[in-house]
Amino acid sequence: EAAVTQSPRSKVAVTGGKVTLSCHQTNNHDYMYWYRQDTGHGLRLIHYSYVADSTEKGDIPDGYKASRPSQENFSLILELASLSQTAVYFCASSSGTGGYNYAEQFFGPGTRLTVL
Amino acid sequence: GDSVTQKEGLVTLTEGLPVMLNCTYQTIYSNAFLFWYVHYLNESPRLLLKSSTDNKRTEHQGFHATLHKSSSSFHLQKSSAQLSDSALYYCALLNTGYQNFYFGKGTSLTVIP
């Protein structure tokens, strides 16, 4: 079964501090994604990557950086955390190739980030 | 650009009644690939069902949906709600590059006895 893990599972950060959220997948998938989930907004794409050492901006990239050092690992970095970044963050992976039938995204358990 | 609209943010139903969660989409491409994801509390979102074929019903775990390209809709239905169906449901559109999903805002379904 596909496996996506995230760490930490929850974090409390101070405004202006640096936060790094990590994601690891053992699916051998090329594509990895970072989403944030907020009530009333659903899942919104922050950054994604389709190959190691390359990242792409999603729909709401401002205030976030991403890093993909290897196929298995994808990090989300908040250089200067702000109150508005309090949310639940989900990482996901997908094959990304082979068309529609292989497009299913597999999600991690989420990281609850609270910025005070 | 592409987008997905889920009209209802919150739906509360009595057990045994039918479920219908609305999903409409907008895309500039002729092909449309639609998905429903379900997110149970304290779990990860996971795929419930998907479709790319116009007017063909797709079913999984008691839920079903039919993609209607003429009305750009992909509503999720179930004949009889169960308490265990309480969850957050996301409709999603896959872009034609098969890489990015556009998620709706989600519908929180609560089933009560």
Give dist(CA B37, CA B45) in Å, integer: 6
Any B CB within 8 A of A109 CB: yes
Q: Which of B37, B52, B105 sits opposite A100 (nearest CB)?
A: B52
Strand order of the sheet with strand A65-67? A4-7, A19-25, A73-78, A65-67
Is the pLDDT reported for residue B109 higher than 80?
yes
Please say whether the beta carbons of A88 and A35 come within 8 A.
no
Q: Which of A85, A81, A75, A88 has its CA nearest to residue A36?
A: A88
Q: How confident is the model at residue B68 (pLDDT cuts 50, 70, 90)?
A: very high
| Cβ–Cβ pairs < 8 A, chains A and B | 58
Q: Which of B31, B41, B105, B108 to mutate to test the interface with A (most CBs of A within 10 A)?
A: B105
Any A CB within 8 A of B95 CB: no
Q: Given phi > 0 = left and psi -120 to 50 = alpha, else beta, which region is A85?
A: alpha
Please say whether the beta carbons of A81 and A16 come within 8 A.
yes
Mean pLDDT (whole number) for B18-47: 91
Is the pLDDT reported for residue A92 higher than 60?
yes
Any A CB within 8 A of B94 CB: yes
Mean pLDDT (whole number) for A66-89: 97
Give dist(CA A90, CA A74) in Å, integer: 11
Residues in chain A with CB shorter than 8 Å from the CB of B104 are 42
Average pLDDT for chain A: 92
Is the pLDDT reported for residue A49 higher than 80?
yes
Average pLDDT for chain B: 92
Q: Which of A42, A50, A106 sits opposite B105 (nearest CB)?
A: A42
SS3 of chain A: helix, strand, coil, percent, to 5: 5, 55, 40
Of residues B32 and A86, more confidently modeled = A86
Which residue is closest to A29 within chain B, CA to CA?
Answer: B99
Question: What percent of chain A has pLDDT above 90?
Answer: 78
Residue tagged 């196929």 (tokens):
A71
Q: What is the pLDDT of residues B74-107, one digit of tens each?
A: 999 999 999 999 999 999 998 766 567 889 999 9
